[in-house]
Chain A
């Protein structure tokens, strides 16, 4: 397994959000994490990327226990998260945002080459490269943060609510991009409220409720009925 969580708990202050969550992601897979608001989906990603410290259990990546690693160290291992709410570096240009995404690639030449690849993959981003990222529309910013994440040549790309708050047209644009990334063989973990997008994109899914995994199935077996029970039961 590329990424493995074993009975991981986490929370903020006195509040415990995750209660013993176990999850595994194999190389080349796309795994969806589903669940209603406050189910703990974003906290789960934050524990994996190191923004929130785990309080028990074990997170391993590529066979190593990464529990003690800082977020920066995890990025250099190839574990890259695209945060919810876009979080572009607003004062910086689109190109500067992308260059920062590629800090993991130590050599400047490799970073430039990767930048050129990104501009090929994202023609819209290429056109916007000299704009200040904060002045872009929501859909454009989402593409920029996805491209910024890909700049690191991630072994796993984790996306937190990539379509939240976007217009229907922009959602389609993001879905196209994600399907392209999937086709290229990048391992992905997607947290998303838009269940249809998960069905289109992922092969397996985990359903979280109140910080616990209540279902773990292949997407075609996560029927609409099963999901309804998981969300509302």
Chain B
């Protein structure tokens, strides 16, 4: 029974993390840049939902519909202002800029909200339900359903729409993309917009699942980066597999290993992946 509980919790967590990571995968695949401000931007979306609830009592599930588009603009602007001027330079430059941005965001959040742990409760908060006999918070199930829908929509859009084909074509061969008439810069800007918009939609939903602290950003950036690496950084399916591996190893690790050693499980798995398949990471360092 304990095992079933671990598996259910792990799958739920894994799929949520997969959606959180999908934006990082998209941006990496198309522009070859790892967004080290990914987690910090999710923190921004969550704190925005917290603010809207505290000031006007707007439910985070509702405010996510506004924060999503807002974060799309944030992502698009980030690309135009910070990334576009340096994207053909050494890739470490982009990492430095984004890490710097993450630290600035963290400091601003700390100034405005203090270091206390926060949550923004939604209409389902505080209630429990049972899945396969396992008790689980309803907000987690809601976040899980949102994640399944989000990943499905993203997968269909990538497969079936012109937008998705343009994006995959640019990721596959930039020169050929130019030659069929794709505006590569526009695709890159869109990808940043959508990659960050996903955080705007999912962040508020998670504002009662993950606890908010100003320094949460870097932690979730690392988690997402692990998922990208484990999943190979190329496909949505890989991202889902990576999310499940991290989610399951964390929950099962916490259940079966003494103390909080279980929390180290995903990191141990990451090391294992790097040892067993170093080529995957090598390909990532070289870009695309």
Instruction: Report A's interface with B, CB cutoff 8 A.
Output: 49-51, 70-72, 75-76, 80-83, 87-92, 96, 99-101, 103-104, 145, 148, 152
Contact = CB atoms under 8 A, between A and B. Distances in A.
B181 A75 contact: yes
A80 B177 CA distance: 12
A188 to B, nearest CB: 16
A72 B182 contact: yes
Given A92-B165, A96-B165, A103-B162, A152 B176 contact: no
Contacts of A104: 181
Interface residues of B, number: 18
B168 A92 contact: yes
Nearest to B179: A81
Given A51-B175, A83-B175, A101 B180 contact: yes
B169 interface: yes
Given A87-B173, A90-B173, A103-B162, A72 B178 contact: yes
Given A87-B173, A89-B173, A92-B172, A71 B165 contact: no
B125 interface: no
Contacts of B169: 89, 92, 96, 100
Given A51-B175, A89-B173, A92-B172, A148 B180 contact: yes
Interface in B156-173: 162, 165-166, 168-169, 171-173
B168 A91 contact: yes
B183 interface: yes
Contacts of A87: 173, 175-176, 179
A83 B179 contact: yes
Contacts of B165: 92, 96, 99-100
A145 B169 CA distance: 13
A72 B183 contact: yes
Contacts of B183: 70, 72
Nearest to A103: B181
Contacts of B171: 91
